[in-house]
Structure 1
Amino acid sequence: MQFPDGWSGDDKRRAKCFQFSGFAPALAFMVEVGLYCERVDHHPEWKNIYNKIWVELTTHDSGGVTDKDLALAEHMETVYARG
């Protein structure tokens, strides 16, 4: 499974830190991605401190990384690229 550039990890979990210009853009990213997560019923483990968001993806039911995680990572990258 080929994740976008910048994602690290293995077949159990994938991780990335997104950095923003400030808190407001980071919060906007979390809100937009969070609403998407609700629609697809797949949720990240994440943490926000000011302008950084640390994300870990895994599919708990499967015990590792699945296509759901890849789709979520790709969506996050799309939202992040829009700024």
Structure 2
Amino acid sequence: MTTPTDWTNNGDRITRQFTFHDFTQAMAYMVEISFYCEKKNHHPEWKNIYNKLWVELTTHDAGGVTEKDMRLAQHMGDVFARYAKGTGQA
């Protein structure tokens, strides 16, 4: 499996930090991602402080990174690209 762009592979998990324009944009992104996560039944470990979001992805049942994590990471990156261009929901 190839780790998606801008993600770091830490063995049993992949991680990334996102920086948004402001808190509202970070929250809008998290809400948008949460709907995708519910649909796919795969959820990140994440922490938000103001305009920063730290994300860790792993599949606990498998004991490490799986295709589910890679697909979620790719989706999160694709959605973030819209926000970075100013075309996100916020």
TM-score normalised per structure 2: 0.89
- SS of the equivalent of 1:3 reads coil
Corresponding position of 2:68: 68
Corresponding position of 2:23: 23
> Structure 1 residue 4: deviation in Å?
1.9
Can you give the 5+ residue segments of structure 2 that lack an aligned partner in the other structure? 84-90
CA distance in 2, matches of 1:5, 1:82: 15
Identity of aligned residues (%): 57
1:15-54 superposed matches below 5 A: 15-54=15-54
**What stretches of structure 1 move > 4 A for 4+ residues in a row?**
none
Corresponding position of 1:3: 3
> Structure 1 residue 40: deviation in Å?
0.3
Task: Report if the CA contact (8 A) 2:16-2:54 is conserved.
Answer: yes
- SS of the equivalent of 2:42 reads coil
Task: Report if the CA contact (8 A) 2:3-2:9 is conserved.
Answer: no
The count of residues paired between Structure 1 and Structure 2 equals 83
> Structure 1 residue 9: deviation in Å?
2.3
TM-score normalised per structure 1: 0.96
After superposing the two structures, state which structure 1 stretch, 21-30 or 3-12, moved more. Answer: 3-12
CA distance in 1, matches of 2:5, 2:39: 25
Question: Over aligned residue pairs, what C-alpha RMSD do you find?
Answer: 0.8
